[in-house]
Amino acid sequence: MTEKSIGAPGDVGHARPRPAARAGSDPSADAPSREAVSEQLGRILSSPSFQASERRKRFLAFLVGEALAGRGDRLKGYGIAVAVFGRDDSFDPQTDPVVRLEARRLRRDLEHYYLTAGRDDPVRIDIPKGGYVPAFGRHGPGGGRMAAAGTAAAPAETSDPPARRLSLWPNAIGLILVLLLGLGTGAWVLLDRAGTPPAAPRQARGAEQGPALAVVPFETLV
């Protein structure tokens, strides 16, 4: 088996400074500095909210150190397995998925951290899916967080806030009840009038009805 070259994690400090961005990204992008990324890495590793195992912490430190040293193109499954997980030269990433599994768990650990203790951190460190090269971006406190790759930022709310919408409900309900009460009263009056015929003089009613037949009791004439 041919020897594969991997970078030692300890020689990060002797490497020539490189932009703190993912390999292949635009170097002119607004990426955090090396110092800011290093500080963020220390902040993550020392936080109790970062629930990664010690092995995954070493994994994250190795990935960030290699990226800052400009060796992001060397972050492959074989090199990581040998340098971080103690595998030997016979390691085969096709049969041993340790790197892929730990990378998946590390992404979940980072996501949980940024949802809790790291929600206001100035720098965000991600491990995008499909590779092991970390990505660094601005995070910002309070609502200025970096949007996840492939998703659009939530649009600003232009309608009334929820509290104001809820406060309008009692007024609307009261208006509806008043309208219903008015409609019910009007309908009752109309029905009452329709069921009671208007009063008219007896003569007029008799004239309209035509000749009348009077029935009287028989009387004995004998």
User: 189 to each of 142, 177, 185, 200, how far by Cα in Å?
Assistant: 61, 18, 6, 21
Q: Is the dihedral of CA 169, 172, 178, 182 positive or negative?
A: negative
Calculate the CA 40 to chain-centre distance.
24
Could you list the pLDDT tens digit for every one of the 222 residues in the chain? 444 444 444 444 444 434 444 444 454 456 899 999 999 999 999 999 999 999 999 999 999 999 999 999 999 999 999 999 999 999 998 899 999 999 999 999 999 999 999 999 999 999 999 999 999 999 865 434 443 333 333 333 434 445 455 555 666 677 777 677 777 666 665 666 666 555 545 554 555 555 655 565 655 554
**Cα atoms found within 13 Å of the Cα of residue 41, Cβ hemisphere only:** 25
The pTM (predicted TM-score) of the whole model is 0.52
Residue 39 has a CB neighbour count (10 Å cut-off) of: 15
